[in-house]
Structure formats: structure tokens, C-alpha cells
Structure 1
Amino acid sequence: MAGGMPIIVLNQNTKRESGRKVQLGNIDAGKTVADVIRTCLGPRSMLKMLMDPMGGIVMTNDGNAILRELNVKHPAAKSMIEVARTQDEETGDGTKSVIILAGEVLSVAEQFIHQQMHPTIIIAAYRQALEDVIYDLKNKIATPVDVNNKEEMIKIVKSCLGTKFISKWMDLACGIALDATSTVAIEENNKREIDIKRYAKVEKIPGGLLEDSKVLKGVMVNKDVTHPKMRRRIENPRILLLDCNMEYKKGESVTNIEISQETDFSKILKLEEEYIEKICNEVIALKPDLVITEKGVSDLAQHYLVKANISVLRRVRKSDNNRIARACGATICNRTDELKEEDIGTGCGLFEIQKIGDEYFSFITDCKNPKACTILLRGASKDVLSEVERNLQDAMNVARNVMVDPYLVPGGGATELALAQALNDRAKSITGVHQWPYRAISRALEIIPRTLIQNCGANPIRTLTAIRAKHAQPNNTSWGIDGTTGQIVDMKSFGVWEPLSVKQQIYKTAIETAILLLRIDDIVSGVKKQDALNAPSSAPQEAPQASEGPEP
């Protein structure tokens, strides 16, 4: 992938490469990365098998997962991969589209650079085209959606999952994604905050059927109670969450203690016992049924808590503790001497421990108003579960994007074709040399429907010509490609929609990345280029010696 990369080494023997050669090299790098991803778009997409340096294998068609594993040297190709990461973090969907579109936007600029057109003219036209695309997208193509209509929402999530491995279990996956997203949604100051990463945890347990997967109205952690006599099933438990040790704190400054009499040692032990008894009594005073701490619980503390009929989970992750706090309404306390009644969580309906496979899991479920949840995934193997998890993350992100910005645009390449038609019509009114790069963006947008047609084995030229004729008629913005058969269908009746926020992000990121790469006219490397003949890499490098006189 690093082929043809002009590296400029800062020494006197190096010839500087011309700016045009660097721009063409950057365009080639962008096209190469896009070609890797192109076959992964659409419902008939191919999978890529990725092998990591440790010998592990991943099979996926998730754009971001593939690009993360690619080992590229060319700086322009690296920036393309960074684009996919940005898209994934921002919207969680559209990583393949953004790479394919950015590669094509660079590709259509190639002819203008060959024709000696200055990059700033191309960039100015691209910027104008981007502004018009975003305006048309919001005002002419997008339609509002009712977030509270569950059937509508399931249709939207289905259009995201249609291209994925999990598409066979579409209804189950859509239900899981919607349930999880709506559970963690919080309304604050007329703004909806949905933090999927932190509060919708996916737990993968190999074994069982994929149909057994479900969303728990609460939290599940891979922990068992610390003592065999503690209760393993409690209905309507009072839950106390701690972020402190229930063990004796060793003195940090006193590292050596002199013991002169036999009674001194028992005094020190008594101090420890009194301290642990004190903190246990402070906990027992609030009468909790379940204590969960992020730190350790000593044997003596367990003894006191068992006597008080309290169950204990210890060394729970901080992230899990935060989720439990959100689910049952408890407050995480840092010191036992500051405990108050309002810190106790009473929003949970059931605490029980189940054995799945060889491991024990604690379930804190049936919560009254859980603002956190756990998605329990079952499946044949770890590889299958990992791919299902990636697909579910995409589906949850789609649901989140629609809930935050409730507008939709037609999928299946219909939006791109409608925008291409609008840009073509506008280009007629642009005078001067700008109109050619401006018109080129409309050609670049057609790469999405063209790739969909190619991936399902239909005839791209014939299908594109027919669909362009549809879009040339007024108010026909919803005609797109059925990615399974390659037929032309009306997306309104076909039911394939995409969130507006994802599309906006795709166009902004793709065109701005292309603009950024076209502005580069030199790649200057601070790394010295080794001449393979003079300095073979296997030879040991000697330390430089001081020269005693001028070299011959």
C-alpha cells in the first residue's frame, strides 16, 4: 500500500519531488484503501478474514474493525483510516461509506490535477458542493420521524442490520438494540443524553442459542458471594455500594513495630479486629441485604456480615458499580462512617446468583426505573459472539442517533442519487472553471449506489442509467437500489431508512478529508533513508568515531 510514496529525506543528495506527484500519490493511496473496503458494502457484502500478529483470526465486514487491523505505511492512507475511526466514534455507523466516498472524491480530482488545475480551485468547488449537499439533505430529502413509534424505529434499525452477520436474527437484534438504547436514555434540560458505551454493557457467554440473548432490566456481573452461607437469592434487596476496603488498613508510614512483650502482639491484633468490627457495625446499622464493594473484604468482616444475614460481592469493577448505582438508585460511598439512609438502593426487584456453564453470575434485575442495562449474548463460539456484539453496537448507535436527531433519509443509495441530481442542476448556473470540480462531486456521490449494484452482481451501467432517469423527474428523491437483488425500488415503500446525522457526518468527513489530502504538496520525512546496499539492516551499527582529518 506504500507503493509510489515519495519520501523526502532532508539531506543534500535528495531530489525534491514535485507537488503534483505527491498529490497523485495521495490520491492513489486513498483509492487503494477504498478498494479494500468496497466489497464489504451492502447486504450481499463479502467478509474479510483478519489475522493479527498474535495469530488470532477475526472474520468481519465491519469497516472500522477491518481498517484497524490494516498495516499501512503511506501517511495519506493512515489519515484515511483515521477518518473511519472518527466516523465510528461520532455516529457508530457509516464507516464503509465514508471511506468509499472519500476515495472516490479524491479519484475524481485526479483528472483536474493532470489538466494542471490548481488544487485551491478544486478545493473551493468542493467546499461549495459540500455546503449545498448539507443544505439539500436537511431541507429537501430528510423526513421527521416519531421516536415513540416502536414499529417505525424497528424498521430503521433493520435497515442498518440488513448488511450484517446478525441479519438472520433481525427481529431479535432490533428489539434488543431498541430496548437497550431506550433504557439508558436520560432527559435533562430538554436534551436527551444516551450513553451506550458506559451504561449498556454487552456480556458474551459462549454456549446456548443466539435466540436466548436478551436485555436484562438491570445488571449482571461475573461474581459470586464471598461466603457459602450468604443468601444467593433476595427479593427487593436493599443494596449498599462501597468504594472502600472492608479490611484493616496497614500503616503506611509505620513499617517496623517493636514488640517487647508477648501481650504487645495481641494488642496489635485487637486493634485490627476493633477497626473491622467498627466498619462492619456502621454498615450493619443501615440494614442492607446486599453489600457490593470495589475493594476487598477480609475474612473477619465476612464473619460479621454473615451473622447479620448480609450477602457480599467484592472486587467489582468500577464501571459495573456505576451501572448498578444507575440501575437500583444507590449512591457509591467512599467511607463507612459517612453512610446515610438515602445512599441505599431500593429500586431493584431481585438479586440472585445463577450458574451458567462453569461460572457463577450475579443478576440484579427487575429494576423499577433502570437507567443502565446488560445485554446477555449467547452463541456458538467466541468468534460468533464478537461479530454479533459489533453488529449490535452498530444497531444501538443507529437507534441512539435517531433518538437524538429524529430525522431520516432514504437508504439504498437513494439519498446519494438525489443529491447528485441536485448538484448537476446547480452546476449549470455556475460559471467559470469551478463548475467542473463541482460537477465531479455529483459523479463521486454515485459510487455508493454503483458499489451496491456491483456487490449483488447486477449490471451497473444499465441500472444506474434507469435510476438516473427516475431521479430526473420532480419529487422522486426516494428511488434506490435493493441491495439483495439489484432492482430499482422506492425506498419509502421498501422501508430502508438511515439517520440524517450519520449521512451528514459521512459527507462532511469524506469531502473534508479529500480537501485536506489535496492541499498536501510535499511529504517531508525526518527519518533517514538507509541505502540497502551500503547499510544492510542485519549488520551491527557501529558507534560514530571522531574523524582525524578530512576524508579523501
Structure 2
Amino acid sequence: MYGQPIIVLNQNTKRESGKKVQFGNINAGKAIADVIRTCLGPRSMLKMLMDPMGGIVMTNDGNAILREINVQHPAAKSMIEVARTQDEEVGDGTTSVIILGGEVLSVAEPFLEQQMHPTVIISAFRMALEDLLETLKSKVSTPVDITNKDEMMKIVKSCVGTKFMSKWSDLACKIALEATATVALEEGGRKEIDIKRYAKVEKIPGGTIEDSEVLTGIMINKDVVHPKMKRRIENPRILLMDCNLEYKKGESQTNIEISKEEDFSKILRMEEEFIEKMCNDVIALKPDLIITEKGVSDLAQHYLIRAGITAIRRVRKSDNNRIARACGGTVVNRTDELREEDMGTGCGLFEVRKIGDEYFTFLVNCDNPKACTILLRGASKDILNEVERNLQDAMNVARNVMQEPFLVPGGGAAEMALAQALNEKAKSITGVHQWPYRAVARALEVIPRTLIQNCGASTIRTLTALRAKHAQADSRSWGVDGETGNIVDMKDYGVWEPYSVKAQVYKTAIETAILLLRIDDIVSGTKKQMDALNAPSGGGHSAPPPQGGEGGEE
């Protein structure tokens, strides 16, 4: 038979297809969701993870937990990827997206058992997702005034309230809002808030968490290069460089032949003159402080001390860019191209302080810093790492609200309102599509249900009461108090979430469930080397490995 493709599978190739794969994928998604389930809400539990190197991580951040987990199942791997996507896109809602994704897969299972085709289920899910996002924007979300400090504090507090830092939530919210507002930059009517690059978190063990603060400038873990240099300068003129203040070494192929003794001293003199020229170029601009990404030789230090200039060397490129943005300077590549406008003059105070055993350089009191450092203090490295993760989430929330100023009620209220709306809409849908459509509404209830479970309240009774509440008019903002499990109005309770986070959670969770439902075949081919003992040794030729379909079945 010509023209027909023949799939030849050898006996090492595993192939699963049809219903078995679909149920396997659903179970893998549910298993990942079960790991994360207890990490939702203010009564969430921490997970202790041990990495192969023997280090430990204690966290309730969904993304951090899933990053450390090793899984073999391909569907479980794609669920873990979902948390990463959510984290990169909006920086919050990683736990919710996994729980919701697992639940959407779970509600699809009965339809597959009833022989409903996955394509029918998928088209109903897509329809539900479109209606859901439309309802979220038009009916559930409310615009917010981002200039109102108290409102912004409430929003960030609802994010920090579920984390380890909830005890210091006022401090955390203040730090997150200050840092985000500092790095916000408006260019051509577009807001750019790059907290990853310009709001650096520096963790110093020791002290208490209350000592943490946002610096109006930059802090780096460096000391001056020479003990005689000044360690405190007010209103310094700062010069930022990424070139060496030392003699350029020849490349590997450079050869110098010296025949006379005077030649050696001549070469040394040339080196010294080169360094002197570079230092004179720098000194001519009269800076008070030089920060370079490369080295500063002993001779250069000597010239700089004579001119009363302080130098700091081998600063990271990312730190140098932050300093440039905070004090208004330009990073220069060559000393002979220095100009007055390259000088950074926006810094109020340069100071080297000793904290614990190490020296730290502070460049603070900047006029208009568009970059900042968040200084975290705490009892141990583990606590500081967790506090940093919580702060990153809080800053992401502040950034999202500043970029898209809409809010939705938290505590499962938005999910219940959407479930109610979808149930109403399902009545107008005819045909077999309405059942998977209703199932999405049921899946949304997993968020309030998990919140109730995590604080130990009666799940069925509370959820039924919440459903009844949402059936009434104008009760869209009623949700679950994550501390006690009671039903409260989120408007009065003050728990809000950014619209962009919620929309991203629904999009990512339902899209992933759709993707996994479309898979009906998993083929994994692992070639094993034929064992040398099994290979027949006759006439010097080894027989080819048997192929499936050619008499090679075991």
C-alpha cells in the first residue's frame, strides 16, 4: 500500500492514547493543584522544600514552591509553567491560577466519561471565558484613584495579608508603595515601572524587620579602595565609569623583547605616564567620588588621594546603572571623553557605614531618584528570603494598579459573582454546550471553597449561604473572611485585588485546561543501547535491533 504513513515503534517507545491520556492529564493537573491548595488565603500553611544541595526554602508562594518541585509527567510540567507565566506577567495570583486550572480540568472529567467530545467541551469553555472577562470588566470591577494613598494601602494590604509578612503588613505596604512610586517613569504618555531592574532588595541579616526601609537612593556592599579616602561627603559630584584606572595589559599574543636594562624602566615609566594621564583627565573635572565597574591600580589610588577624591571599584553593571538613574549621571567608557554633563550631582549624601562585619556604601537623599534600594533586616537568611518574596508580590500589585487602575473585590467575591452571572447566562444557551458552560461556573467556586477550608469553617454551610447572598441583587462584593470563614461584604472589609491579576488568572487557568484537554496522544521514545551481551557475535556482523511490526514484539 503506497502513500500511507507507517509509524514504526520499537519496543522501547511508549505510547498512550485516547481516554487514558486525557484522564492522566486531568489527574496530573489535580495533583499539582492539591499540593498548592493549602497555600491560599491568610490562614495558609507554609511548605518546607529541600533542594538537592541540602538547602531549605520555607514559603507559601505558589511559584516558589512549584519551582523547586521535580515532576516527570508532561501535563504536570505544563501546570508548573503556568505559575511561572502568571508570575512573569503580573507577579501575583500564582496559587489561585494553579488551583483554578486544576479545578477546570476536574469539572471536565465527567463529560469525557459520558463520551462527550473534547472539542465540544473546549468550545463551551472558550465561550465561558469570553463572557467571564466581559462581566469582570463591565460589572464586577470598579475604577480606583491611584493618587489616594489610603486606598492604595488597602489594595496592597490584601496581597500581603495572605503572606508571612502579614504581621508587619503596614510596613510592607508602605515599603512596596514607596519603592514602586519611586521607579515609575513616564515617557511619551506611557508609564514604565521596572521594579525588577531599579528597585533592588538588599538583605542584611541582623536587626529586626521593623528596621527595614526604602532608601532615597542606592546602597551597595562596597568599601572605599584606600583607607585614607573620605567616607562621608555631602552633595558629592559623582563620576560613573566602566573602564579601568590601571595600565592596559597586552593581549595574549603581545611580546616585548628587552635588550637593555633601561628599556625595562622605560616600559614602567610609560605605564605610569598612561595612568597619570587617565587620572589627570578625571581630576580635571573635580569629582568628589569615582565609581568604576573595573579595577583601580595602586598608583591611580595615590593620585586620587592627593586630589582628595574617593574611589569605589568593581561595582556590578546593574548597580552602576541604578546609581546613574538615582543621581542623574552618565556611565562613561573612556577617560579622555569626559564632559561636565556626565557628572552626577543629584545625590545628597555619600557615606560608608559598617553593619555587622561588612562595609556598605550609601548614596542617599537624592533629589529625584528614579531607582531605589529596599533595605531588609531580619533574624535569619530564611526569613529575609521569604520577606523578599512577599515584598516582590506587593510591589507587583502596586505596579499593576498604577498601570491599570481597576479593582475587583477579593476573598472569593469576584469568583462567586462571576459564577452567578455564568449560571444565569447558561439558561439562554441551547444544546449540549450548556453543561460544560455551567461547569466553569462551578469551577470558579473553588477559590471561596478553598478559603473556607483553609480556615477550618464549615464548607458546605458557608458556601450555600454565600450562593444565596449572591442570588440577591447588588451583593456582588460579598465574599469569605479568610481569617474566620464568615461571610462579609468586601467593600466594608477592605479587601481588593487588581483587575489585571484576576483577568490574567482566569485567562491562564482556562487556556491551560483547554490545552491539556486537546491532547489525546503521548509518545515518548527513549532509545536504549543494545546490550553488548545480547548482540549475536557471528561472522563479525551484529544484527540490527528488532523493530516493532517486523517480528520484534516481545
User: Is 2:466 aligned against 1:464?
Assistant: no
Task: State how 1:89-238 maps to structure 2 within 5 Å.
Answer: 89-238=88-237
Within 2, Cα distance between the matches of 1:171 and 1:151? 11
Specify the alignment match of 1:52 in structure 2. 51
* SS of alignment partner, residue 16 of structure 2: coil
8 Å Cα contact 1:134-1:504 kept in structure 2: yes
Q: Which amino acid aligns with 2:277?
A: K
| CA distance in 2 between partners of 1:446 and 1:13 (Å) | 44
Matches within 5 A, 1:214-293: 214-252=213-251, 255-293=254-292
Separation (CA, whole Å) in 1 of partners of 2:543 and 2:287: 85
- Map Cα deviations across residues 341-360 of structure 1 (whole Å, 9 max, x no partner): 00000000000000000000
1:519-534 equivalences in 2 (<5 Å): 519-528=518-527
Amino acid at match of 1:302: Q
> Equivalents in 2 of 1:454, 1:419: separation in Å?
21
Distance in 2 between residues matched to 1:375 and 1:492, nearest whole Å = 31
Rounded Cα–Cα distance in structure 2 between residues aligned with 1:257 and 1:542: 63
User: Secondary structure of the equivalent of 1:523?
Assistant: strand
Going from structure 1 to structure 2, the CA distance change for 1:427 and 1:208 (only over 3 Å counts) comes to: same
* Aligned mates of 1:189, 1:478 — CA distance in 2: 37
The equivalent of 2:3 in structure 1 is: none
Gaps of 5+ in 1: 1-7
Q: What are the residue-to-residue correspondences of 1:16-55 with 2, within 5 Å?
A: 16-55=15-54
User: 2:16, 2:523 within 8 Å by CA — same for their partners in 1?
Assistant: no
- In 2, are the aligned partners of 1:202 and 1:374 still within 8 Å (CA)? yes
What aligned pairs does 1:435-454 form with structure 2 within 5 A after superposition?
435-454=434-453
State the partner residue of 1:4. none
Q: Partners of 2:493 and 2:528 in 1: how far apart?
A: 57
Deviations 1:298-323 (CA, angstroms, capped at 9, x unpaired): 00000001100000000000000000
Deviations 1:364-388 (A, max 9, x none): 0000000000000000000110110
Distance 1:13 1:65, change over 3 A: closer
Q: Deviations over 1:21-66 (max 9, x none)?
A: 1000000000000000001101111110100001111111010010
Asked if the contact 2:12/2:528 (under 8 Å) is kept, the reply is: no
TM-superposition CA deviations, 1:253-302 (whole Å, max 9, x none): 65221111111001000110010001100001110000000000000000
Kept in 2: contact 1:30–1:77 (CA 8 A): yes
Does the CA contact (< 8 Å) of 1:290 and 1:310 recur in 2? Answer: yes
Question: Aligned residues: percent identity?
Answer: 78
- Residue ranges of structure 2 left out of the alignment (5+ in a row): 1-6
8 Å CA contact 2:14–2:524 kept in 1: the answer is no
Matched letter for residue 288 of structure 2: D
**TM-aligned CA distance change 1:40 to 1:263, over 3 Å:** same
- Tell me how far 1:196 sits from its aligned partner: 0.4
Compared with structure 1, are the counterparts of its residues 181 and 9 closer, same or farther at alpha carbon in structure 2 (3 Å cutoff)? farther
**1:303 aligned to 2:310?**
no
Following superposition, the deviation at residue 10 of structure 1 comes to: 3.1
Structure 2 match to 1:434: 433
1:88 and 2:87 matched: yes
Aligned length: 538
Whichever residue aligns with residue 99 of structure 1, its letter is I
1:9–1:373: structure 2 CA closer, same or farther, 3 Å change rule?
A: farther
Where do residues 488-527 of structure 1 align in structure 2 (5 Å cutoff)? 488-527=487-526
Query: Does the Cα contact within 8 Å between 1:453 and 1:459 map onto a contact in 2?
Result: yes
CA contact (8 A) 1:242 1:334 kept: yes
Query: RMSD across aligned C-alpha pairs, in angstroms?
Result: 1.9
- Encode CA deviations 1:216-252: one digit per residue, 9 max, x unaligned: 0000000000011111000000000001011100222
Q: Which residue of 2 aligns with 1:392?
A: 391
What is the one-letter code of the residue matched to 2:526?
V
CA distance in 1, matches of 2:387, 2:301: 40
Taking the aligned partners of 1:257 and 1:512, their CA distance within structure 2 comes to 66
Asked if structure 2 preserves the Cα contact closer than 8 Å seen for 1:10 and 1:525, the reply is: no
What is the SS of the residue equivalent to 2:521?
coil
Aligned residue for 2:491, secondary structure, equals: helix
- Hey, what's the Cα distance between the residues in 2 that align with 1:495 and 1:543? 73
Question: 2:14·2:523 contact (CA, 8 Å) conserved in 1?
Answer: no
The answer to whether the 8 Å contact 1:9/1:524 transfers is no
TM-score by length of 1: 0.95
Q: Within 2, Cα distance between the matches of 1:73 and 1:87?
A: 22
2 CA distance for matches of 1:463 and 1:49? 31
